[in-house]
Amino acid sequence: MELYNSDAEAAVLGAVLIDPDVFGKLVQFLRGGDFYNIRNRWIYEAFSALYERREAIDFVTVKGELERMNRLSEVGEGYLVTLIQDTPSSVHAESYARAVYDSGKRRDLVRAASAVAKLAHDVGKPLSEIMEASADVIHQAINGAASSRAVPVSLAISDYYDVIIARSKSGTLPGLPTGILDLDHKLGGGIQSDDLMIVAGRPGDGKTSLLLQMASAFCAQGKRGVIFSLEMSIPKLTNRLIAQRTGLDGQRLNGGLLSKDEWGLVQSAVSDMEKWGLRLDDTAPLSPVTVRARCIDWKETEGLDFIIIDYIQLMTGVGQNREQEIAYISRNLKLLARELNVPVIAAAQVNRASEGRADKRPSKADLRESGAQEQDADLILLLWSDPEKNNNNDKHHVTTGVLDKNRNGPTGEWDMVFLGSQTKFVPVAQTREIDFSRL
């Protein structure tokens, strides 16, 4: 089977020449590289150049553009005339364009398969590097190379002005509220759509609990997302989500040791949570390439508003040492947030450096195994349990949230109370209404 369609290519070009208005639909999916015949590719690229400059597309302007590209002599003025004469109507232009796109994409896949085969035969490279490179090649073949998003500053300003006017009229704040009120206040409303947030702390500081609490808040707002958990299984995640939702003791919930009223709370919570657009994925090992591939699929098929990962140090990456691997993971998570335009929130561990300090207070410089996390993250939230405030109480204790980096706003800190039995954080003011003897 020939992976090109000469008749369809000519019909597309002829349709545009006799009815330039159809080009606005075609350019949304068809590119010059989809044309097999080089003359046809040059003509389509001339269309694109004129379209981008908002100039008319017709016989005279296309001829002029080809001349400017130094391609007119190779294309031939007579060929343009033939395209017009041989195309009776533009009615089926999109169908012809789809046929050209189909053939072009098949050729891309053939080239990608050849490139992957070449990579696989390079026995001098580690398998992990080959798999990462192969995934990138396949992704580019399927989705195409990234096109330029450079825009005039006048357009950027105009678009931004429209956004803030709309917010002013609606009274809504930017960002996705996390449900942690003090944090949302410092973020000016919530986490932004392309932010990478790292939630860091020592083991047992409540990182997973906070991530689950944020996920619940997002889902309660009708958002769709995914939690990648490399440390905790799906049943354990589910137990924590329900405990947080109902306010019940997680251990009693897990054993089914509930009163009639408590069963009613569980049934009500389950009924609500079944409507959430939330996915739980406890697949391990997990690499940035796997996360990206799954999230792109979900974004395109079901919609995706947030990504949560627990946690960075358990992911696999590419590099000569662990520091390079973590840097690779961190950078790719930031790129994923920008590519999909969704917040990515990832847990991370801090090293033991803080334990040598008098107050044992962590800082963003303590992020374990790579300083790249500090560089890539837009937001770094540290969780710190001051022993002087807690008297070694594991059941419920005060945790300080330290927003140690905020690329677009203020940093700061606040106290929260961690309810161990429910594995969730509540504002200090709210604890006045809680009977701790029952927890």
- Other Cβ atoms closer than 10 A to 136: 14
200 near 350, Cβ under 8 Å? yes
Quote the crossing angle between the two packed helices 38-52 and 77-85, to the nearest 10°. Answer: 90
Is 231 a catalytic site residue? yes
- Other Cβ atoms closer than 10 A to 140: 15
Judged by phi (left if over 0) then psi (alpha if -120 to 50, else beta), residue 341 lies in left
- Can you say whether the dihedral through the CA atoms of 85, 91, 94, 98 is positive or negative? negative
224 near 305, Cβ under 8 Å? yes
DSSP sequence for 213-265: HHHHHHHHTT-EEEEEESSS-HHHHHHHHHHHHHT--HHHHHHT---HHHHHH
Q: Which two tokens stand for residue 284?
A: 């391990």
Which is catalytic among the residues 65, 67, 74, 231? Answer: 231
Which secondary-structure segment (H or E) carries 9? helix 6-18
Residues identified as active-site: 231
